[in-house]
Amino acid sequence: METYYVYILLCSDHLTYTGVTNNLGRRFEEHQNGLNTKCFTYKRRPLKLVFQQEFNDIEQAIYFEKKIKTWSRKKKLALANGDFDLLQILSECRNATHSKYKP
């Protein structure tokens, strides 16, 4: 059974990069060594691996990756730091039209 990883990298400019792979060590080295000049991380090295989650199903890994790619940097770092209270706060809708704000 294959293992897949969703990972978050913290770039030198404090931006984050989220990806999915079946070989985390190899993929991190590819990012760190700048093998692809068109990659988002190329000009943002050195990089730090701040989060990884293991999956046995590629469909679940891709679903999770797509989900967290839409998150803010703060929310991704809260996940990476295991700060689930902050993650909950950052996940709450703050839109005035949200049902929480209706009388």
Instruction: Find the CATH number of the domain harbouring 25.
Output: 3.40.1440
Residue percentage of the chain with pLDDT more than 90: 82
Query: Is pLDDT above 90 for 9?
Result: yes
State the total domains in the chain: 1
Q: Which range of residues forms the domain containing residue 71?
A: 4-101
Average pLDDT over every residue of 3-16: 97
Q: What single-letter amino acid sits at 29?
A: E
* pLDDT tens figures, 64-89: 999 999 999 999 999 999 999 999 98
Burial of 97 (0-12, 13-18, 19+ CB in 10 A): exposed
Query: Is pLDDT above 90 for 23?
Result: yes
* pLDDT tens figures, 44-60: 999 999 999 999 999 99
Q: Which residues contact 87 (CB under 8 A, 6 or more apart)?
A: 75, 78, 79
